Amino acid sequence: MRVGIGYDVHKLTENRPLIVGGVLIPWDKGLLGHSDADVLIHAIMDALLGAAGLGDIGRHFPDKDEAWRDVSSLALLQQVRQLLRQEGFRVVNIDAVIMAQRPKMFPYIPKMTEHISSVLGIDKTCINIKATTTEGLGFVGREEGMGAQAVALIDRMNS
C-alpha cells in the first residue's frame, strides 16, 4: 500500500463557472485556472499521482499546453486513473477537504462523491469529502480563493 497527499488552491474571479468535485455550483464567482480549476479534483489527482510516485498534475497536464485549456478536471482524473492502472495500481480510498468560506459545499458533496467514484471505478464509501470555512481568516476567509487537500491510498492490483 502507498499513500499520497495533494493540495491545490485557485483564485476566485468573476465570469467563470464554479466547478468543485465535478459539480457546477451556482455562485457569482468561479475559480481561475487553465482547466476548469476544480480545486478538489486537482488535489485528488496530485494525491493519487504522488502515491504512485508519478509526479504531479503540472508534469502530466502543464498549463502551457493548450490541449488542457478549459478541460474538465473529471476528464483529467480519468487519465490519472489510466496512468495508475498502467503502473499496476488501484485506488483504495480517498479522504479530502474543501476549504471555502462561501458558498456552502455540504449540499453538493453527495454529487461530488458520485462523480469521483464513477470516474475512479470505486465504491462511494471509499471516498470521504468534507468542507470547512476558515472562520474568515486568510485568502479563503476573505473569499479571494478556495483550496482543497486530499489523501489517497493506493495498492497493487494483484494484492
Interval 124-140: pLDDT, tens? 999 999 999 999 999 99
CATH class of segment(s) 2-156: alpha beta
Helix axes 39-52, 109-120, angle to 10 degrees: 40
Query: How many percent of the chain have pLDDT more than 70?
Result: 99
154, 91 contact by CB (below 8 A) = yes
pLDDT for res 90? 97
Helix axes 73-86, 39-52, angle to 10 degrees: 10
pLDDT for res 12? 98
Q: In the numeric block, which cell numbers belong to residue 53?
A: 510516485
pLDDT for res 24? 98
Per-domain residue ranges for the chain?
2-156
